Chain A
Amino acid sequence: MIRGWCLLVLLLAAGPAGCAHLPCLGPAGEAPECRTIFLQGRWQVAHAIEAVYPDGSRGLLVGVTVLSSVDRTLDCTLMTVEGFVLLDASEAGAVTIRRAVPPFDRPGFAAGLLADVRLALLAPPGTPRIGRDRQGRPVCRYPGPDGRTTDLLPGAQGWRLEQYDERGRRRRTVALEPVAGGPPGRIRLQAHGPAGYRLDLRLLSAVPAPLETATALPPREKPQ
């Protein structure tokens, strides 16, 4: 259906390899606030998503996410600017795909997209270890249950997330541009490695979401 996005689908489904490695942390000074950039509670956020492919070409989609920081659930709908739904999926323990049109129905794509959205929009779970990197910047380090490690570097001008796989290779970098009193106005997610890609998200709206969750909706029939 959408040829230009095929490449991104392949890259997201495959998962790129990293190159930089997990740095050692020095002793912490004053403990930074590690969560203030992330939304708390249930929110509906909409983003304009620009994908930049390895060959430099671009594509534009709109993404709507209903997230809960309480139970860490996500409902994501990816659509064209004209409003045609390409992917409608949720994650509440397991990934549920309610609608996916080719090429967004490829195995692994929805899970890869939800993982990227989770990384960018939800604070990492657990209690971080606090330290400082080689430049002396404060780092909140979150060890993940899957062996991945997420480093969060707060900053007045911009926050940064670095995610490393179980071998300590860097897989994702996320730059979060803070906006006073609200969620990040711009998010840039870079997937590292030879099959890397970049997603630029511009916040269109953020409104509190009602308590009932779309994750409770039954899966819809997949279009033929």
Chain B
Amino acid sequence: MRRAAPAINAATRLLVLLAAAGLLGWADSWQALRAAAARVTSIQAAFVQEKHLPILAQPLVSEGLFVFQRPDRMRWEYRHPVRSLLLLAEGRVQRYVQAGDGLAPERGAGLQAMDMILAEMRLWLSGDFERSPAFAARLDPAGRVVLTPRDGALAGFIQRIELELDERPGVIEAVTIYEGPDSFTRIRFSGVRLNQPLDPSLFGDPS
């Protein structure tokens, strides 16, 4: 009986690995990722963002909503505790911040880092990780994509980005942006709805 235990454990591990590979079969090659992404026309999801810093006793938590419409429209909205909205349409990013009860354009604030992340997200959602001019992509087993900056200047801001792929083809479960070994932002998506018709006003000026 005692000798059988290690064999059972090894078999269990193998089964788990095979199951994981089966579940994420859509994520075993760049080609498979692109094929899965091509079947997604729109995504809506809630997200929870945790900011971890060495000085923090507890992470800072934000909540919001993410909407993507193929090929290039995106809405990245924070609803709590700070209201803020980023819209990507026709290659241009516009940012709005809370002003009274509504949102107003943030004048003159060009958030190039977030502009770049939104542009990158458009590539991720198309499965085109390898086409990124800013990041080199590596596909890990068990459905994880690791992006590392191609040049040193960018590495000063972002060390790497890790994407955890969902069981559902074309869906990203979580994104972690590492600014340093002990400073990172983790964004986890939930309530994902695929290929639903979207109201065009979601991408229009809210002010």
Contact = CB atoms under 8 A, between A and B. Distances in A.
A60 B82 contact: yes
A46 B1 CA distance: 57
A4 interface: yes
A28 to B, nearest CB: 40
Nearest to B181: A220
Contacts of A208: 57
B81 A84 contact: no
Nearest to B177: A83
Interface residues of B, number: 38
B77 to A, nearest CB: 11
Given A1-B112, A85-B183, A64 B107 contact: no
Given A80-B113, A224-B156, A58 B99 contact: yes
Interface string A60-91: 10101010000000010101111111001000
Interface of A: 1-5, 44, 46, 48, 50, 57-60, 62, 64, 66, 75, 77, 79-85, 88, 99, 101, 204-205, 207-210, 214, 217, 220, 223-224
Interface of B: 49, 51, 53-58, 60, 62, 78, 81-82, 84, 86, 97-99, 104, 106-114, 117, 152-153, 156-157, 177, 179-180, 183, 185
21 contacts: A3-B109, A4-B108, A4-B109, A58-B99, A58-B104, A58-B106, A59-B97, A59-B106, A59-B109, A60-B98, A82-B49, A82-B86, A82-B117, A82-B185, A99-B180, A101-B157, A205-B81, A209-B57, A210-B57, A223-B156, A223-B157
- Enumerate the 4 nearest inter-chain pairs by beta-carbon distance, A residue then B residue, closest first: A223-B156, A4-B109, A214-B55, A4-B108
